[in-house]
Amino acid sequence: MTAPNPPESASATTVSPSASNRPHDLIVIGGGPAGYMAAITAAEFGVQRVLVLEGTPEALQKVRISGGGRCNVTHACWDPGELVTHYPRGSRPLRGPFSRFACGDAISWFDDHGLTLVAEADGRMFPEQNRSEAVIQCLQRAAVAAGVELRTRAMVQEVVAEPAGGFVLNGRGLTAPLRAQKLMLATGGHPSGRRLAQSLGHNLVPPVPSLFSLSLQAPALAACSGIAVDEVGLDLKLGDQRFRQLGRVLITHRGLSGPATLRLSAFAARALHQRHYTGELKVDWSAGLGRSGVEARLQDFRRQQARRTLAAAKPFEHLPRRLWQAFLKEVDLNAERRWADLPLKAERQLVEVLVGQRLLIQGRGPFGEEFVTAGGVELGEINLATMESRRVSGLHLAGELLDVDGVTGGFNFQACWTGGWLAGQAIAAALQ
């Protein structure tokens, strides 16, 4: 579908003040990915009067800053059954929605609207232009072509569901109350959306941070800031709950980050919050060798590299030299000691560090790049086939406002595309 470029000064058609009192078929509160997808889909399926209200000066800001300005749009994950495993909250309920609109559908949708997505080696998908602005322009063009109107600096503060059906909206930046037959809440993690949902009778799961790095008491690792290591095993036990991840980690000046750490924080988000972000993390740096494999490798080097120093002859190719030397320092081994002179006690200590280093968690780092929270409107209160509220007829909700969150890799955006598309299609069907 080909659409004209929008004016440079606006993300979509701007609503004139004189049109404020005209009833709309659909009003979407929230100019983010889920809101835009819902508005565009509804309009493309025939809904004629669609208005998006965004409280900030500019819509789609989360798209703009995500992925370091590249925007990880979705993931190359074709099986809905596998896709749901990437959602710590909402995995089972999402099977139905993803069976109707999953990653492949999102890729096709963007391709049909003039944006080609390219997969990287790890499955993350980015726009061919490798910048988030391309995603924003695609959504803007689609909105303009479909006749979607946008009003920014419009912060809705009150929504009233009318007894006969429809909604009345009031708020800052609205010169007069607005009326709509159908209403969509897609405010992301902003507290204003949760307040509106509560005022309309919905229950909320208290939001807590997700996708964050871990601050650790690990002075030996501090000198290794910036080093990334693959196939690292993370094992976190909090009370009777246990969380494990295997993957790439990034050593920071505070502790650990990287995909495996962020996944761990997502699945353990509530448990870590309840324990005030303290606990013990067990780290396996052996890349799958395990205890017996590490022991065998060290014994081989004791025999085959007997005259070389511990620093010069590194037994594990996947470990950067700086990290290997940090491990030697942690067990008080002189890096200039020869392999032949390695004490048995020190060897055992080195094995423990390599396969089960125990590090104390002393807090969380800042949010990961996705800025995701765990919590929101309870999923049981939403018909996930249409994203319509089970409490208020004509009200639809999608995106991070719901108690759904995914791990890093494009999965949170995918939940927005899916929820927005299902809501827009259902709204169009109901109005027609």
Going by C-alpha positions, the residue among 207, 210, 206, 200 that lies closest to residue 382 is 200
- Give the C-alpha separation, 129 to 109, whole Å: 17
Residues 6+ apart with CB under 8 A from 355: 284, 285, 286, 289, 290, 291, 294
Out of 244-253, 294-303, 357-366, which region has the weakest mean confidence (pLDDT)? Answer: 357-366
| pLDDT value at residue 222 | 86
Tell me which CATH code domain 13-208+370-431 carries: 3.50.50.60
Q: Note the maximum CA span of the chain.
A: 88
- pLDDT tens-digit readout, 285-321: 999 999 999 999 999 999 999 999 999 999 999 999 9
Q: What is the structure's pLDDT at 366?
A: 72
**Residue 382: other Cβ atoms inside 10 A:** 25
Kindly tell me if the per-residue pLDDT of 1 is higher than 70.
no
Which residues contact residue 379 at a Cβ distance below 8 angstroms, ignoring those fewer than 6 apart? 90, 93, 402, 403, 404
Q: Locate 144 and state its tokens.
A: 């303009």
Instruction: State phi, psi for 103 to the nearest 5 degrees.
Output: -60, -45
- Name the percent of the chain lying above pLDDT 90: 90
Closest CA to 232 of 395, 359, 131: 359
pLDDT value, residue 372? 85
> Is the distance from CB of 399 to CB of 190 less than 8 angstroms?
no
Q: What is the pLDDT of residues 29-49, one digit of tens each?
A: 999 999 999 999 999 999 999
Integer Rg of the chain from CA: 26
**DSSP states along 302-313:** HHHTTTSBTTTS
Cα separation of 41 and 429, whole Å?
11
Ranges 2-11, 32-41, 65-74, most confident: 32-41
**pLDDT level of residue 16 (50, 70, 90 thresholds):** very low
Locus of tokens 């965004």? 54
* Phi-psi map region of 127: left, alpha, beta (phi>0 left; psi -120 to 50 alpha): beta
Rounded CA gap, 76 and 131, in Å?
18
Region 40-63: mean pLDDT is 97
Closest CA to 185 of 394, 407, 371, 372: 394
Model confidence band, residue 20 (pLDDT cutoffs 50, 70, 90) = very low
Residue 21: pLDDT band (50, 70, 90) is: low
- Which pLDDT score is estimated for 371? 67
pTM, to two decimals = 0.89
CB atoms under 10 Å from CB of 80, counted, come to 19
Q: How confident is the model at residue 426 (pLDDT cuts 50, 70, 90)?
A: very high
Domains in the chain: boundaries: 13-208+370-431, 212-367
